[in-house]
Structure 1
């Protein structure tokens, strides 16, 4: 029997297209993504980025990963390059100044261009913890965000289809209150000077922070900051008793990231409404100086394209159910693991790994159609994130394993001996 391809363009065009966009990263073909990318990575390596510790690996790995995630999300080139150099001058979170901000800006500008370097510099000098959390996230409850997402969807539809604009709607008034149309003044983290950040740049920094958190956070930080409620408020201090890397569990960062995505969507929608209103008023929707409107605000596919908020408690329950299933399945049997994984997916449908493990269980049981469906769901989610939720294995490892499962499900075969499992690996 001829081996089948793991992903067919005819059967699943979206998944095939997504895999194709990720393939250069999976193969390390950086020059096909951007002809300058290999050189930029060499520059980062030459200044020691590969020697710096960073959460679950090296700083260089993290920088490349953020570039990859933003590229998969189809962010503009300047934003992706900002991701590649995003803490190069240090920032409010980490001490990683691989370029001196007083003398290195010209060097960085020469490598990435003026637009990207400006973003990199601003990203490094804003008080990001205050900006993202205190000034934005903590101003909304989860229910506020869910409600405002619904209202904003209707408002945008009315603006585009009917030419109806109502600036007095509650969701727009609140957004303008915490993030005015002309931007927000924050304090430079080192000099204390006022720095004006446009609304669109705030949105870009939200997008980058979602990518940043998804790549680096796991249970180590939850223990370090006592994130026991799953809302990532950074208020605890267990520095004296938290040992790196801990148990390697997935982190409880997804409620916070989903909230960032919701606020990002609110910003994007009101920006679109403002442009539609300018068109109606005969201004042709032209770019307004000082608002960074030349930067496209793309919507990443995660959290239903940033339209859903994951409940903090359900996030916690889903994580524990997943962990129990994958860690206790060997002792308590596949039926036990299957039950826990199904419950985990019901609580948190935004991550791929529970689907992947469930797919392997179905293969072991000879339930090939069910295995194929779960492997496809898992692969889609893992590719869309561009980073693993379960960081015990790399993103590339999870993608490769899931493709093996998908291929075997289509072939309707699965090894019945341990040597057969070890012999797996070829992916088509």
Structure 2
């Protein structure tokens, strides 16, 4: 990828190569199969419906990519690049549900899956099952190739994989600039605005993408649960364990974010939490550490799914000598940031946030904090 210029292509808030490596890391940490992780690494290699980047020409380069990643991964890469992902993920799935409906269906699907696994009870008339099967039938969807217009069959499992990859993709590259670009003032990220004069890179605020990603994760869970029920019922009736023509050799893992894709973050709460955090970290003139603590606690209460507010709050506690509270917040923040495998506050790299979180946790365990500016500047883990 480096040899063909991926490291020199602009991509949202960095280079294309950085983005591809980030997606690979995210999917690895989420425990996706190797073929899925490799798809993430090369996911826009032939260009796709979101970006006009074609590192490899699909008419001549598929064998080259296949030689690097294998048949299974290359097939996913190619499909990812030729399906109309924006309408497929958003218009045909995400926008078909209200937030409250997703929450209701998540609860119902959990009960249904338990009944299927433990009791062999299968109710095909449940509202949540009827809806998800209507949107994503058991034999997949036929969509149009974005360049040729030919029919392309996308199995239900491959669609689920692309949904998970879109979660990783968006979480890595979206920040405040896109909110201004698409006028995402309500936090639902529906791409309805058109502010083409937005100046890059913007002010660096964390982006309002979490509501959208949480809904993707919830729908991913619905697809996964419907798949599990479908396979369980077939196995009990016919004894068939795996049907490879349905891509059942592709494992559907659950990303750890949003409590394993079981929660939906409201758009309003997302905005309020982001703004409280931003005031805490950017404005030191309105009350000092007491005000920062209040703002960060409010941010965490409204959005408990990202790690950076916990780490910043841990530092506030350290400066006050409240070491046990600092340790608790630092640990929570690190866990969340590791689960995401990428930063929510993209002013610093994920590696930078993890390194700082480890320093804060270390100082909390030591029950000490520097008393001078030079002491803070010299913090580190190297002994």
TM-score range, shorter chain: over 0.9
Comparing both chains, which one has the higher relative contact order based on Cα–Cα distances under 8 Å and sequence gaps of 6 or more? 1
Measure how far apart 1:282 and its partner are: 3.5
Asked if residue 236 in structure 1 is aligned to residue 208 in structure 2, the reply is no
Segments of 5+ residues of structure 2 without an aligned counterpart are none
2:334 corresponding residue in structure 1: 379
Aligned to 1:114: 71
Aligned length: 383
Contact 1:403 1:427 in 2 (8 A): no
Corresponding position of 1:351:
306
- 1:302-313 residue pairs with structure 2 within 5 A? 302-313=257-268
User: Partner residue of 2:149?
Assistant: 192
- Residue in structure 1 matching 2:215, options 248, 259, 263: 259
- TM-score normalized with structure 1 length: 0.88
The answer (yes or no) to whether the contact 1:404–1:427 under 8 Å persists in 2 is no
Query: Any residues of structure 2 matched to 1:314-325 within 5 Å, and which?
Result: 314-325=269-280
Q: Deviations over 1:327-373 (max 9, x none)?
A: 11355300011100000000000000000000000000000000000
In structure 2, what is the Cα distance between the partners aligned to 1:379 and 1:427? 19
Residue in 2 that maps onto 1:364 = 319
Alignment root-mean-square deviation, CA: 0.9
1:425 Cα offset (Å): 1.4
Question: Which consecutive residues of structure 1, in runs of 5 or more, have no partner in the other structure?
Answer: 1-43
Within 2, Cα distance between the matches of 1:331 and 1:360?
18
Residue in 2 that maps onto 1:411: 366
The structural deviation recorded for 1:279 is 2.0
Please list the CA deviations of residues 221-247 of structure 1 after superposition, one character each: whole Å capped at 9, or x if unmatched: 00000000100001101012x110000
Return the offset for 1:290.
2.1
In the TM superposition, residue 54 of structure 1 has moved relative to its aligned partner by 0.5
Q: Is contact 1:368–1:412 with CA below 8 Å preserved after alignment?
A: yes
Deviation digits for residues 182-203 of structure 1 (CA, Å, limit 9, x no counterpart): 0011111111111110000010
In structure 2, distance between residues paired with 1:260 and 1:179:
14
Give the equivalent residue in structure 1 for 2:375: 420
- 1:111-168 per-position Cα deviation (integer Å, ceiling 9, x unaligned): 0001000000000000000000000000000011000000000000000111100111
> For residue 127 of structure 2, what is the aligned residue in structure 1?
170
Q: How does 1:6-405 map to 2 (within 5 A)?
A: 44-240=1-197, 242-284=198-240, 286-329=241-284, 332-405=287-360
Decide whether the 8 Å contact of 1:230 with 1:316 is kept in 2.
yes
* Structure 1 contact 220–246 (Cα < 8 Å) conserved: yes
